[in-house]
Amino acid sequence: MKKYRHIIWDFNGTLLNDTWLCVEILNTMLARRKRAAVTQDRYRDEFDFPVESYYRKIGFDFSIESYDTIADEFLRPYNSRLVECTLQGGVIDTLNHIKACGIGQSVLSAYQHTLLESAINRLGITDYFAHIVGLDHVYADSKLVIGKRLIETLDINPAQVLLIGDTTHDHQVASHIGADCVLIAHGHHPRHRLTNATAIVFDNLADVINLLKSCE
């Protein structure tokens, strides 16, 4: 069992249960354009990064309206309703276990940095994290660049870092920075998509605690 020195967490979908909210808002936007709604299963099957490509796939026409306009239409209700979202099951137990093991923790998210800090503070989990890193814009395109910066800031051998996420993009980020990866199938991608990545896939966070039992 490998001994990790630091855990990097994704936020949306991994720590925060927000998939349902994304689907609700997208369906409101699609209804305004007289387009078919998406089910949560279809959303999880098709959602991807960059988000702009996903929007195009489900029917938004960027020759008629800009991606900036559509992104703003999504983000206004998302940001205002984020208070309705709760932590995924097992988050606090897992954060406490990792802390008790003496392993550092950070958050790496495609959410805009200031909004990310506010959301984490509202949820009462800020003190668990040495670093909270989000994008400097609202377009949720990629975490590759900020992931590389975070690993440089940590100044830890990437082989001793574990990234925990809920999408195949999280696996891409982990590979880019040289970290190991665990994907949890309770967020924005279903298990059958996650198992296509060369990462460990768990159904819930309790399995992460089992993975790290060797620290005790």
Domain extent listing, the chain = 6-18+86-215, 19-84
pLDDT one-digit tens code per residue, 140-166: 456 899 999 999 999 999 999 999 999
pTM here is: 0.94
Per-residue confidence (pLDDT) for residue 215, from 0 to 100: 58
Q: Regarding the domain with residue range 6-18+86-215, which homologous superfamily does it belong to in the CATH classification?
A: HAD superfamily/HAD-like (3.40.50.1000)
Q: For residues 56-80, give the mean pLDDT.
A: 94
Q: How far is CA 27 from CA 1, 40, 66, 80, in A?
A: 44, 10, 18, 17
Helices and strands in the chain: count of H runs, count of E runs: 10, 8
Give the residue carrying structure tokens 């949306």: 12
What backbone phi and psi angles, to 5 degrees, belong to 125? -120, 10
Indicate the pLDDT class of residue 137, thresholds 50, 70 and 90.
Answer: low
Indicate the pLDDT class of residue 196, thresholds 50, 70 and 90.
Answer: confident
- Cα 214 to Cα 55: distance, rounded to the nearest angstrom: 43
